[in-house]
A = this chain, B = another copy of it.
Amino acid sequence: MSRSVGDGGTPTEAKVQFRLRISKGEDIAVGPGKVALLEQIGATGSITGAAKALGMSYRRAWLLVDSMNHTFRKPVVETLTGGSHGGGTAVTAIGEEVIRRYRRTESLARKAGAAEIAALLKLLSR
């Protein structure tokens, strides 16, 4: 998540990124890349579509999904077979919860740190 800051006394081009990453052992359970992938799978209905949207290979996207499916208690992505939609890939309820809580954490963090971040931005040269 990044935001351009160009208001009033702050320099243009300054970007603020606030990134949450939760690791378990050697693996990153959830971080900016994995959450973006989940969101794109939800938006496109497929790993292929999500991979394209994010400019990553299908293989890499699949490996990230497979890793998340094992890191969390239940799969975050599921393959739908048959039915009126004739297959496709969907984000599960737990996957939606991961996205929601991750984005909410970022938003709360950004709000909590807003005054300090503004003060830091004022220290930058023009």
Q: List 11 A-B contacts (CB under 8 A).
A: A14-B29, A16-B22, A18-B19, A19-B21, A20-B113, A22-B117, A71-B125, A73-B124, A73-B125, A102-B116, A109-B110
Task: Give me the interface of A with B, judged by CB distance under 8 Å.
Answer: 2, 11, 13-25, 29-30, 70-73, 94, 97-98, 101-102, 104-106, 108-113, 116-117, 119-121, 123-125
With CB as the reference atom, state the residue of chain B lying closest to A109: B109
How many Å from the CB of A68 to the closest CB on chain B?
10
* Nearest CB on B from A117, distance (A): 6
- In the complex formed, the residue of B with least CB distance to A11 is B24
Find A24's partner among B25, B116, B117, B124 (CB 8 Å cutoff): B124
